[in-house]
Chain A
Amino acid sequence: MSAVESQLSKGSVAVDRSAAFLDRMEWPVMFSVLAYGVRIGVRVNDPGLANDLAPHLPPGAQCVKFSDTGHVYSLIVEENDQSGRPRGSVYVNGTPLARRLTVPAVLRAFEADVQLYVAEMAPEHVFVHAGVVSCRGRGILLPGRSFAGKTTLVAELVRAGAEYYSDEYAVLDSAGSVHPYARLLSIREKGGPGVTRHTAQALGGHAGSEPLPVGLVVVSKFRPGAEWQPQRLSPGNGALALLANTVPARRIPEVVMATLNQVVSVAAVVASERGEASSVVDPILELAAWP
């Protein structure tokens, strides 16, 4: 039994691992991830798990030599459970994010936290929780939190010919242009908690790659049977609607307000409840065609 295995078998019985304990462990795989100007450290005790990490990193992330930048994830595969499946844990700086879960659950916890951390700390971009597509060279933002149905709407818009930019974050620069955050579309399975992941191509569309000015913001939430009745919001109220979904709103409010001001000064903002996504695709694309 290696020193690490010995540590793990002892540690897995009961206790949380402090940051100091984790630092003393031997890590066969260590690297840093650089995404949107944010660097994080990653340590993995199982090379097999390391091979599975790539799809869980932010899009466009680069893996570089490990350096401790004060935000280090430690992923640990531990002993098998009673059914013989391996269990794992993930810590950030010694704080457990997920402990003794299945490996896929550990990877999801890792992915969620890494993406949120990058979204909050990115130095040159403002991340708004929103689906994004483009049409006629301008971005369409669909702000909304979980279960607002934005991924479904993004998928329908892509099927209808819009370019895919993101189903999670609108990444805005200081001029108010939106950049791709082209992770795979995560579409929830009907009646279950799981998600399936799709490329834009698999939906019959394609992904955009260039930053674009925002032409339209659609503030919308799914309600069964709701009628699509878009109302134009003022720029100020449009900025409020975006800010309510902006990740670093509290950390860098001045930057956020200036950036959102850039967006609403050029984009139309409309709001409406909506029914099925397929029923609003054409009206949204028509709105986006406004001069």
Chain B
Amino acid sequence: METYRPTTRSTQLLVQELPDEVLIYDLEVNEVHCLNGSAARVWALCDGQRTISEIAQQLGSDLEPDAAETLVWCALDQFTEKHLLEEAMDSAVAQYRPADMTRRQMVLRLGLVVALLPVVDSIISPPAALAASHGTTPTTPTTP
């Protein structure tokens, strides 16, 4: 695990930083993600230089080291699911993640500090026509 240094995807992403969150637009699949504060802090530290424990230490939280690492894995798990890490890192997360650390177990471990849970909310960016109204207008040509 000490050799694993996660790296965020560097291509086809538009990143917009908010005061305590990050918005990410994935141009490949037109999905938009909102990383909450915890997820955003992990995201910022996934530069390919830091190990999991280094990221956990640098989060600056008051968590015990084990809990802080759990938090990092919880964020990485979601980054993987949303394809926000470099491609090779997706499988690496599954390879290096401790075997006893399923998403549910991570959430349970961090359950007492819900405010610290990393969360990635996502939507599909709408095509123009989907964002439109005009429900009474025929949208397909009509033949007699």
Contacts and interface: CB of A to CB of B under 8 A. Distances in A.
Contact of A108 (B126, B128, B136): B136
Interface stretch (A1-9, A38-46, A94-102): A94-102
A247 B136 CA distance: 19
A250 B30 contact: yes
A146 B137 contact: no
B23 interface: yes
Classify chain A's interface size. 35 or more
B128 A258 contact: no
Given A101-B142, A193-B136, A240-B34, A257 B129 contact: no
A162 interface: no
Contacts of A168: 133
Given A129-B133, A240-B123, A253-B125, A264 B138 contact: no
Given A98-B142, A145-B133, 19 more contacts: A99-B143, A108-B134, A108-B136, A111-B137, A112-B134, A115-B132, A116-B129, A119-B128, A195-B136, A236-B18, A239-B23, A240-B23, A243-B125, A247-B128, A247-B131, A249-B126, A250-B127, A257-B16, A265-B19
29 contacts: A97-B141, A99-B141, A99-B142, A99-B143, A100-B143, A101-B138, A105-B137, A109-B138, A115-B134, A116-B129, A120-B128, A129-B133, A145-B131, A168-B133, A188-B136, A194-B136, A236-B18, A236-B21, A240-B121, A240-B123, A246-B126, A247-B131, A247-B132, A249-B125, A249-B131, A250-B30, A250-B128, A261-B18, A264-B18
Interface of B: 14, 16, 18-23, 25, 27, 30, 32, 34-36, 121, 123, 125-138, 141-144
Q: Which 10 A-B pairs have the closest CB atoms?
A: A236-B21, A112-B134, A236-B34, A146-B135, A112-B137, A120-B128, A96-B141, A257-B16, A249-B125, A99-B141
